Amino acid sequence: MAKACFYEILEVERSASSADLKKAYRKKAMQFHPDRNPGNTDAEAKFKEVNEAYDILKDDQKRAAYDQFGHAAFENGGGPGGGGQGFGGFDSAFSDIFEDLFGMAGGRGRRSRANQRGADLRYNLTVTLEDAFSGKEEKITIPRAVPCDACGETGAKEGSSPEVCATCNGIGKVRTQQGFFMVERTCPTCNGKGQVITDPCDKCHGAGQVEETKTLSVKIPSGVEDGTRIRLAGEGERGRRGAPPGDLYIFINIEYHPIFQREGSTIFCEIPIAMTTATLGGEIDVPTVGGEKATLKISAGTQTGKQYRLRGKGMPVLQSSQVGDMVIQARVETPVNLTKKQKQLLRAFADECGDEVSPESSGFFNKVKDLWNDLTE
């Protein structure tokens, strides 16, 4: 029985590009895959045909031979799988699609571990609100991995050297066939390094790196906010075999402040105000986050919750000449520990004033009185 045309099997034109071939193969392979068609011998046969067709057409030289001589170019054992069985080309053909779908490229194009860029490091730094206001220079000590000078980063004792992993042949990955799938995993013997160390270095114990501490000076800019990230280029872990080092990222955390609360560049502060000052008005000194005193003028009749704004007394705006405001919220304080005479004076004051000096209080109770009257009618 004559074999079907490879182009017809994949349902593509003879002028199809490599991308078109791969797309068509992916579609057909998924359609006839045995896992999707359990027990279907016809589907299994189709699947083998599809793999054989793609294995030939994806190779430019084989495709050129096929276009010129047809199936005859691969007869007598010359074709994939020997005599046109087709399944022998599964490893090379279907793995291309598997790699494309799942990003598993095996040893081909594998990035060498020997010259990888050093790892980035993270350091959490807590500063006070006052430090965030004025800015400061902070010294930090960080641990990081550096190349081992005893073994020259090889991880092997002096006089010996790492050996190529016999399990993966230095690739760092191994392939196992599960049914019709070819699965690629990190080599369990060398953990993906492609090499094994039989006589490890006494200093680094085969790691090729040792840990050291380094003290760095970090400039905290004025106006820095909670969660700000500062990057110190090249201060991460050293790269292997002359590769560039990683970076150090410092994450800023602002300490809780018992007096001031911050929202962006605005500082909020609740200030207790004596009843007499709130009633008659006056001036009081209030603290600022910069450590200075500011004079605040209290208007007569100030109630709890009233806010006063002090322009330019808030936080600096990061990398800007602007400065935010400070918002003072009044909290009128009720007198306590009164003497007998003071109590008498307050009672006389209350008798003298009546309800006129407390309009909100008298208005509220008048509404309540109306409500009670409605309920009793």
- Residue-wise pLDDT for 103-141, tens only, equals 444 444 344 444 578 889 999 999 999 999 999 999 999
Is residue 201 marked as binding?
Answer: yes
CB 220 within 8 A of CB 99: no
Is residue 187 marked as binding?
Answer: yes
CB 308 within 8 A of CB 296: yes
To which residue do tokens 């008498």 refer?
Answer: 344
Is residue 306 helix, strand or coil? coil
- Mean pLDDT (the chain, rounded): 81
Residue at 143: amino acid letter: P
Q: Rounded distance, CA 167 to CA 188, Å?
A: 8
Q: Does residue 30 register a pLDDT over 50?
A: yes
Q: Rounded distance, CA 106 to CA 104, Å?
A: 6
Token representation of residue 193: 């390094």
Is residue 353 marked as binding?
Answer: no
Q: pLDDT of 231-273, one tens digit each?
A: 999 898 887 767 788 899 999 999 999 999 999 999 999 999 9
The full set of domains in the chain, from first to last, is: 6-102 (1.10.287.110), 121-162+197-254 (2.60.260.20), 261-333 (2.60.260.20), 340-376 (no CATH)
Is residue 190 marked as binding?
Answer: yes
Q: Rounded distance, CA 174 to CA 191, Å?
A: 11
Is residue 204 marked as binding?
Answer: yes
Of 296, 290, 281, 220, nearest to 252 by C-alpha is 220
Banded model confidence at residue 372, pLDDT cuts 50, 70, 90: low
CB 254 within 8 A of CB 226: yes
